[in-house]
């Protein structure tokens, strides 16, 4: 690979990174910080990364780790309740105003974000970013088999909740 | 209309058996306006996923991060003329001259060496045409005698040294 250019190689990844960070931290301000930290971290290490096969996958891995760090720190501070509140207000931030208006979408949003981190990250990468199992495995540092099994569990959980909502109007 | 195919895809979607292509077919199907009633409940999931793919950062993000890495907009490339002394500016000239001189020297010495080799006459084996190295017989005799004496001295010095070594070895 040639030299990494900030504007052409890293900056275009910002929204993908932001969405991943948002899915993990569930907080847009945190997610923005994580995105910016990721880009700066990768930029500062650019000399070592010339041999990296996919700079995008590398950035996603860094982004996930940074997001997890923040998320865990927050949980350690016993702020999970507050985080939940932020999550609720977060809907108003989401650029997609549809989410705010549409009750159904908001419910799916909650369903999605109630999944354990691994499951919702894999759902994010597969169903929203449309990544292959292989790419997801590279990003998360696990085997393709683990990705598949986790995705299976996530989709099963969503389906179960979904049917519950449909049947009982929960 | 038959929705068997979509239903099958959906079943396989839930158990994570669908390929990327099949999942994009599902997304396309659920994004169209007339989804049949019995599948309508799942529309929300796929439209949610599609709406989430469009989330993006605010416009001022680029500016902020570029400032952080020290590449603030607008990027102006300043080209400054480098000052250098007159002699320094002639440096390429010196280098060229030196290179030419080296090539000239090498080629001259090579050609003179080759000329010399060509001009040398073949070895003369005829004893009649041998020439003396020294003018007088006495002088040549002395040179030979000196040489032999020198040889004798070094030879005897070597042998005494060897004997001494042998003796000391015996003593030990």
Residue A78: band (very low, low, confident or very high) from pLDDT cuts 50, 70, 90: low
A105 in B contact zone (CB under 8 Å): yes
A92 falls in which pLDDT band (50, 70, 90)? very low
d(CA A19, CA A131): 14
Chain A with chain B: Cβ pairs closer than 8 A: 87
B58: pLDDT strictly greater than 80: yes
* Chain B touched by A158 (CB under 8 Å): yes
**Residue B61 CA, distance from chain mean position:** 40
The answer to whether A15 touches B57, Cβ cutoff 8 Å, is yes
Note whether A129 contacts B: Cβ–Cβ < 8 A.
yes
Alpha-carbon span B153 to B13, nearest angstrom: 105
Evaluate whether B100 touches B108 at the Cβ level (below 8 Å).
no
Q: Residue A93: what pLDDT? A: 47
Nearest CA in chain B to A133: B20
pLDDT level of residue B101 (50, 70, 90 thresholds): very high
**Domains of chain A: residue spans and CATH:** 1-85 (1.10.1740.10), 93-169 (1.10.10.10)
Candidate from A18, A124, A148 with C-beta closest to B57: A18
What residues of chain A lie within 8 A of the CB of B55, using their CB?
15, 18-19, 22, 94-96
Touching B: A residues 70-99, CB under 8 Å = 94-96, 98-99
Per-residue pLDDT band at B77 (split at 50, 70, 90): low
Exposure pattern of B83-122 as b/e (b: 16+ CB <10 Å)? eeeeeeeeeeeeeeeeeeeeeeeeeeeeeeeeeeeeeeee
pLDDT of residue A49: 87
A103-114 and A80-93 are packed helices; what angle lies between their axes, rounded to 10 degrees? 140
**Measured distance between the N- and C-terminal CA atoms of chain B, rounded to whole angstroms:** 115
pLDDT digits (tens, 9 = 90+) for B84-98: 778 788 888 888 999
Q: How many CB atoms lie under 10 A from the CB of residue A3?
A: 8
pTM higher than 0.90, yes or no?
A: no
CA distance B103 to B168: 61
The Cα angle at residue B42 between residues B38 and B44, in degrees rounded to 5 = 130
Which among A15, A109, A152 has the least Cβ separation from residue B56? A15
Lowest-pLDDT choice from A87-101, B52-66, B76-90? A87-101
| A125 in B contact zone (CB under 8 Å) | no
Give how far B1 is from chain A: nearest CA, Å: 24
Could you please report the per-residue DSSP string of chain B? ---HHHHHHHHHHHTT---HHHHHHHHHHHHSS---GGGGGGHHHHHHHHHHTT----THHHHHHHHHTT-PSS------PPP--HHHHTHHHHHHHHHHHHHHHHHHHHHHHHHHHHHSPPP---GGG---SSSSHHHHHHHHHHHHHHHHHHHHHHHHHHHHHHHHHHH-
φ, ψ for residue A94 (rounded to 5)? -45, 125
Q: What is the pLDDT of residues A110-164, one digit of tens each?
A: 988 999 999 999 999 999 999 999 999 999 999 999 999 999 999 999 999 888 8
pLDDT 10s digits, A32-53:
999 999 999 999 998 888 888 8
């Amino acid at each position: 690979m040639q030299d990494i250019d900030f504007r052409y190689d890293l900056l275009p990844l910002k929204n993908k990174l932001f969405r991943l960070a948002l899915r993990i931290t569930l907080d847009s301000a945190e997610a923005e910080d994580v995105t910016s930290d990721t880009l700066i971290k990768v930029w500062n290490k650019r000399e070592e990364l010339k041999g990296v096969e996919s700079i995008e996958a590398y950035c996603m891995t860094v982004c996930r780790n940074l997001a997890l760090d923040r998320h865990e720190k927050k949980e350690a501070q016993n702020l999970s309740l507050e985080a939940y509140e932020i999550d609720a207000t977060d809907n108003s931030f989401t650029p997609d105003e549809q989410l705010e208006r549409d009750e159904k979408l908001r419910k799916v949003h909650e369903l999605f974000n109630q999944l354990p981190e691994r499951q919702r990250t894999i759902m994010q990468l597969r169903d929203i970013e449309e990544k292959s199992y292989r790419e997801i495995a590279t990003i998360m540092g696990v085997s393709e088999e683990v990705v598949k099994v986790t995705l299976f569990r996530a989709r099963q959980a969503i389906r179960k909740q979904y049917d519950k909502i449909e049947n009982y109007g929960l | 209309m038959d929705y068997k195919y979509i239903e099958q895809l959906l079943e396989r979607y839930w158990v994570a058996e669908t390929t990327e292509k099949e999942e994009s077919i599902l997304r396309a199907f659920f994004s169209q306006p007339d989804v049949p009633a019995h599948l309508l409940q799942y529309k929300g999931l796929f439209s949610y996923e599609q709406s989430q793919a469009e989330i993006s950062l605010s416009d001022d993000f680029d500016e902020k991060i570029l400032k952080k890495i020290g590449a603030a907009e607008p990027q102006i490339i300043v080209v400054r003329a480098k000052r250098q002394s007159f002699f320094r500016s002639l440096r390429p000239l010196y280098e060229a001259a030196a290179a030419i001189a080296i090539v000239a020297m090498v080629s001259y010495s090579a050609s003179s060496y080759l000329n010399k080799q060509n001009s040398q006459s073949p070895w003369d084996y005829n004893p009649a045409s041998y020439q003396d190295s020294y003018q007088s017989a006495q002088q040549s005799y002395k040179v030979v005698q000196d040489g032999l004496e020198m040889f004798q001295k070094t030879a005897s010095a070597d042998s005494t040294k060897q004997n001494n070594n042998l003796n000391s070895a015996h003593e030990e």
